[in-house]
């Protein structure tokens, strides 16, 4: 059946399937006619459909097995050859099925005579909800053409069940081809906020209204045009300005172009169309195969290649739909984006058009999460199995405060969340009313509340929150979302815009914190065994001083006549800071020599993120102007726990006695060296942690915009003397977490947590 014969056979199968759908009758009658048609067309003694009902695979229709076994034979999850196909989501082709280790004999089916077995999964949206099986009495291996034909039927069957093509499926009420029941998913909160909206898939389904094509020649022409478009776009990017792309970016595009011209990919797509599928359905089927392989492999390199292939499938689907990308995609007002993972540039493509974001993977420390917080878009991640449980257009409730997502929620749940949104709005209004109130404790200690920022739009939160300035402006985002090194003028414009928006409020710019998980598309990256401890941040800047000087030149130019605060990340030893500061002096000399403007005042600081520097603060006296404790990285290194690793990131607490003792010693060392010091990180924006930091003597806290209101309210309600007195004896213990004790104390004192 290979070649034209195979194509004709598949097309005939699809035509007959459509005739069955159009002939009417009950759902069971249609299923019965379908298995009879497949058995006859494929010259099989048996054809059976098993559908997943609850935790079992139930025989729903058969031609060849005993009719009385229908709806009586049920296999538990993972049981038998059917369970194996459903479990792996891969075809199973056996010449001697009864002797396979997973064979499960069911006498009521009467399948004793049948030796050969071919089973393919019925899959939609990564959800396997059934298995289509053919069997023969003679021992034989089914050919590739037969496997492909059965897979095509299974795919079309899945789409038709999902689209209610069988009519009234009340008899199949527990079978979920298309998720329809309310579901609750617990993930992790990446960006605060609550949203009620509809699901929009970042990698949407093809518009499969026409699964079966009326005109295969026309469909192949559509496929040709889309392939030409996708290949052309990639080629144009590679053949443009030779200096525009280099390193990883060029390698990725060259790999993409190679994959886009892969004859096997092309052949699979064309075979699907020639077999009678629409071009969209053919791509959807191939994407399903790639996703199944992606989920099955654990090898990082192979997963990366599978991800590249899936990306190509998505590009091709968008080309067929006439959509170029996220920037052109039409979105409903309350769109909640559903994705496996998301990069910062992809998120920025959507701009402010999203109500929320739900990710199957991701990390709260990832840059997409930081961008989401900057945009004020709620985000929940680490939602295992999300893509297989949600469809485009499903109702979604997303809780970025508790890390929860509810799919297709009941009306009462939606009503409850609407009340929560109203309460949050009232609370936000209360914080807005108090934004001009000074953050002074009950016993008169003033605390400076500052913002963490990474985008120019973040700076506008200064007015919204009443923060006193920007304690940390992450400069790397401009570099990460660009395909090329941002030109000097582009950098100057960004930094000048930030300073203009901030006005007389101080802005502290952190120089490029690259490396680790922050890879530039135009800088060749080398694989490191432990990138968090490798070549990153100031280490790159000192080894590649032209890159750091280029940025310092832009900062000095942008701050001409104004105050400039610059700090260097991940300095481990004093000599590294001295070398970095020397580059600032060289750039100031360059500006003076060529008559360029210079800052009216310049302050150079350093982030305390490496424990080694925490014990070297005395050596910075008279050299640095200020310190900023970066709790995110410092605690990562303190506990030897990768903050991006979900297995360990949450098992250690910054409110442990050892961690607080460490922070206290850093603050004391800064005081002795006469250096201004601040706490910078996500923890500073949480009221309980802020209370502890203030009790330790910190008087400058830099945090996400969402934390300023709650922390101001906490500061204005607390007594430093009482908090410090309560905390002091607890610091002498070895407690892994003081969270419960500090919460109880704050509540007993009436502090506003």
Which residues are known to be catalytic? 367, 680
**Distance from CA of residue 244 to its chain's centroid?**
28
Distance separating alpha carbons of residues 281 and 162, to the nearest angstrom: 14
Strand positions, DSSP E, 202-327: none
Q: What counts of helices (H) and strands (E) characterise the chain?
A: 25, 22
Three-class HEC string of 529-578: CCHHHCCCCHHHHHHCHHHHHHHHHHHHHHCECCEEEEEECCCCCHHHHH
User: Do the beta carbons of residue 677 and residue 666 sit within 8 Å?
Assistant: yes
421, 414, 505: which is closest to 461 by C-alpha? Answer: 505
Provide the token pair at 205: 């389904």
Q: Which residues have CB under 8 Å from 304's CB, separation 6+?
A: none
**DSSP secondary structure code for residue 4 in this structure:** H
Task: State the burial class of residue 103 (Cβ atoms within 10 Å of its Cβ: 0-12, 13-18, 19+).
Answer: middle
User: Do the beta carbons of residue 667 and residue 697 sit within 8 Å?
Assistant: yes
User: Do the beta carbons of residue 626 and residue 675 sit within 8 Å?
Assistant: yes
- Cα distances (angstroms) measured from residue 449 to each of 372, 456, 469, 717: 21, 19, 8, 15
Three-class HEC string of 95-134: CCHHHCCCCCCCHHHCCCCCCEEEEEEEEECCEEEEEEEE
User: Do the beta carbons of residue 607 and residue 340 sit within 8 Å?
Assistant: no
Complete edge-to-edge strand list for the sheet that includes strand 116-124: 74-76, 56-63, 46-53, 127-136, 116-124, 92-94
3-class state of residue 405 by DSSP:
strand
Distance separating alpha carbons of residues 85 and 118, to the nearest angstrom: 10
Helix (H) or strand (E) holding 53: strand 46-53
Provide the token pair at 537: 């941040």
Distance separating alpha carbons of residues 319 and 204, to the nearest angstrom: 12
**Which single residue is written with the structure tokens 């009521």?**
108
3-class state of residue 677 by DSSP:
strand
Name residue 338's beta-bridge partners. Answer: 201, 358
């Amino acid at each position: 059946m290979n070649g034209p014969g195979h194509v004709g056979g598949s097309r005939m199968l699809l035509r007959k399937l459509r005739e069955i759908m159009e002939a009417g009758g009950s759902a069971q009658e249609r299923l019965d006619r379908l298995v009879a048609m497949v058995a006859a067309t494929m010259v099989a003694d048996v054809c059976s459909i098993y559908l997943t009902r609850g935790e079992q695979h139930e025989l729903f229709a058969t031609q060849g097995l005993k009719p009385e076994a229908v709806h009586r034979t049920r296999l538990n999850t993972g049981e038998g050859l059917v369970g194996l196909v459903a479990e792996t989501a891969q075809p199973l082709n056996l010449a001697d099925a009864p002797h396979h280790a997973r064979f499960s004999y069911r006498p009521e089916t009467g399948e004793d005579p049948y030796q050969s077995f071919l089973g393919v999964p019925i899959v939609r949206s990564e959800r396997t909800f059934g298995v289509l099986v053919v069997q023969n009495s003679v021992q034989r291996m089914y050919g590739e053409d037969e496997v492909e034909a059965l897979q095509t039927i299974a795919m079309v069957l899945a789409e038709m069940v999902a689209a209610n093509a069988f009519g009234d499926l009340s008899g199949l009420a527990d079978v979920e081809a298309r998720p329809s029941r309310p579901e609750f998913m617990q993930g992790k909160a990446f960006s605060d906020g609550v949203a009620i909206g509809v699901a929009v898939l970042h990698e949407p389904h093809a518009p499969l209204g026409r699964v079966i094509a009326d005109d295969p020649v026309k469909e192949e022409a559509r496929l040709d045009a889309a392939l030409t478009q996708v290949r052309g776009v990639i080629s144009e990017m590679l053949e443009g300005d030779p200096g525009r792309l280099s390193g990883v970016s060029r390698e990725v595009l060259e790999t993409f172009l190679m994959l886009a011209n892969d004859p096997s990919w092309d052949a699979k797509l064309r075979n699907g169309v020639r077999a009678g599928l629409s071009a969209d359905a053919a791509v959807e089927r191939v994407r399903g195969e790639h996703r199944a392989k992606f989920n099955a492999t654990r090898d990082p390199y192979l997963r990366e290649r599978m991800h590249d292939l899936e990306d190509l499938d998505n590009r091709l689907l968008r080309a067929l739909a006439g959509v170029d990308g996220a920037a052109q995609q039409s979105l409903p007002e309350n769109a909640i984006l559903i994705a496996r993972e998301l990069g910062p540039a992809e998120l920025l493509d959507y701009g402010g058009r999203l109500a929320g974001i739900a990710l199957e993977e991701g990390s709260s420390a990832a840059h997409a999460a930081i961008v989401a917080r900057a945009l004020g878009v709620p985000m929940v991640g680490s939602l295992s199995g999300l893509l297989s449980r949600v469809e485009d257009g499903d109702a979604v409730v997303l809780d970025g405060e508790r890390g929860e997502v509810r799919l297709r929620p009941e009306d009462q749940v939606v009503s409850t969340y609407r009340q929560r949104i109203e309460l949050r709005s009232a609370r936000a209004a209360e914080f807005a009313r108090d934004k001009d109130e000074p953050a002074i404790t009950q016993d008169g200690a003033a605390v400076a509340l500052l913002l963490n920022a990474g985008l120019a739009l973040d700076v506008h939160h200064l007015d919204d929150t009443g923060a006193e300035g920007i304690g940390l402006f992450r400069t790397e985002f401009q570099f990460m979302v660009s395909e090329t090194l941002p030109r000097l003028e582009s950098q100057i414009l960004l930094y000048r815009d930030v300073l203009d928006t901030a006005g007389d409020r101080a802005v502290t710019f952190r120089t490029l914190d690259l490396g680790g998980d922050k890879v530039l598309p135009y800088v060749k990256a080398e694989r490191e065994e432990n990138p968090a401890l490798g070549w990153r941040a100031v280490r790159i800047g000192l080894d590649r001083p032209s890159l750091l000087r280029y940025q310092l030149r832009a900062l000095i130019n942008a701050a001409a006549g104004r105050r400039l605060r610059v700090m260097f990340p991940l300095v481990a030893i004093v000599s590294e800071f001295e070398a970095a500061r020397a580059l600032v002096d060289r750039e100031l000399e360059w500006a003076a020599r060529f008559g360029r403007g210079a800052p009216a005042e310049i302050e150079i600081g350093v982030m305390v993120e490496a424990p080694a520097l925490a014990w070297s603060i005395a050596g910075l006296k008279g050299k640095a102007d200020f310190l900023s404790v970066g709790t995110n990285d410092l605690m990562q290194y303190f506990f030897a726990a990768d903050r991006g690793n979900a297995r360990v990131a949450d098992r250690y607490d910054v409110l442990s006695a050892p961690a607080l003792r460490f922070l206290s010693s850093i603050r004391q060392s800064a005081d002795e060296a006469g250096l201004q010091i601040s706490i910078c990180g996500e923890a500073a924006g949480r009221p309980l942690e802020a209370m502890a930091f203030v009790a330790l003597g910190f008087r400058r806290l830099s945090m996400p915009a969402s934390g300023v209101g709650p922390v101001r309210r906490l500061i204005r309600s607390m007594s430093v003397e009482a908090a410090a007195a309560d905390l002091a004896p607890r610091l002498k213990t070895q407690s892994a977490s003081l969270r419960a004790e500090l919460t109880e104390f704050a509540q007993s004192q009436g502090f506003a947590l």
